[in-house]
Amino acid sequence: MAEGIEIWRGGVNTWECDEMGHMNVRFYVTKAVEGLVGLAAALGLPHAFAAHAGSTLMIREQHIRFLREAHAGAALHMTGGVLEIGPDEARLLLLLWHSDSGALAASFQTVVAHVTPAEGRPFPWPKRTLDLAAGLAIDTPDQAMARSLSLEPVVSTASLERAIELDLVRIAHGAISPADCDLYGRMRPELFIGRVSDGIPRLIRSFREMVVSGAVETPKRVGGAVLEYRLIQFDWPRAGDRIEIRSGLKDADARTKRVIHWMLDPDTGKAWGAAEAVAVTFDLDARKIIPISDAARVELVKHAKVGLAL
């Protein structure tokens, strides 16, 4: 299958768009999770996300490419398929399309585990799912491949102690409410990227000013956008658990900034998850990336955290 099977269709609401004028990253993930329900059904697990499910799919990792903006009123649909499947995990591909133009809006390489709903304990896929997966095999199109981020396995260095040592900026601090959780009591997947989006101005605003200071033409309105994301979930907070997100600049080049985010438990110091993002400074009127001059890059790199990684 070149593009997979259709697993979701809908559009963009005004309230899903942010101050940048396009759909916020959390709603890309929200729609991807809904698409995952459709793909699970195609894999012979139509009730995988129901309260009475005998098994469900737990997201371990997501690689996201944001390829074209989606504005309020845009018609979208999603297709999906199976890239790889093992005894109890799979790497799935979800492709979000602009329905009117046929252009790819975003891609999601999503690693899921087949687990018990309550405990999250992995166990083997049923034979029916393995058989159906063969017919849902899909290849990764060039636009959906990792570009600036590695998808190799990592041993995370994230911890509260390490965050303090690196003087990472706390961009979010709060708790998980019952409304933030899925049917099984675990934090919904869009919450990590959503809280990063809410808190990122505290870290990134001064970096944007550095980029603008070196621009050939000073834009009237400046914002930011993310081109690529890798999110890894080590554990899932539940209602009442506290979280904080500590973030820092990893490096910068002529166009992009690479930023690391750690979602931490402030009580135990352990990491709930880690993410790496490739971000750009954005001219909100021209709707284009503002290049980073050599002088601006020199200033940016002074703020990079040596040794910071997932």
Q: How many CA atoms are closer than 13 Å to the CA of 299, on its beta-carbon side? A: 13
- Alpha helix (H) ranges present in the chain? 25-42, 127-135, 160-165, 190-213, 294-301
pLDDT digits (tens, 9 = 90+) for 150-191: 999 999 999 999 999 999 999 999 999 999 999 999 999 999
How is the chain split among helix, strand and coil, in percent rounded to 5? 25, 35, 40
1-145 is a CATH 3.40.50.150 domain = no
The DSSP 8-state label assigned to residue 176 in this structure reads -
Phi, psi of 20 (to 5 degrees): -85, -10
Q: pLDDT tier at 1 (50, 70, 90 boundaries)?
A: low
pLDDT digits (tens, 9 = 90+) for 253-291: 999 999 999 999 999 999 999 999 999 999 999 999 999
Q: What percent of the chain has pLDDT over 90?
A: 96
Residue written as token pair 């998980």 = 176
Distance CA 213, CA 215 (A): 6
Whether the domain at 1-145 and the domain at 152-310 fall into the same CATH topology: yes
Maximum Cα interatomic distance, the chain, rounded to a whole number of Å: 60
> Any idea where the domains of the chain sit in the sequence?
1-145, 152-310
Note the pLDDT of residue 214.
Answer: 86
- 152-310 to CATH, choices 3.10.129.10, 3.40.630.10, 3.40.50.10320, 3.30.930.10: 3.10.129.10
Is the Cβ–Cβ distance between 303 and 207 less than 8 Å? yes
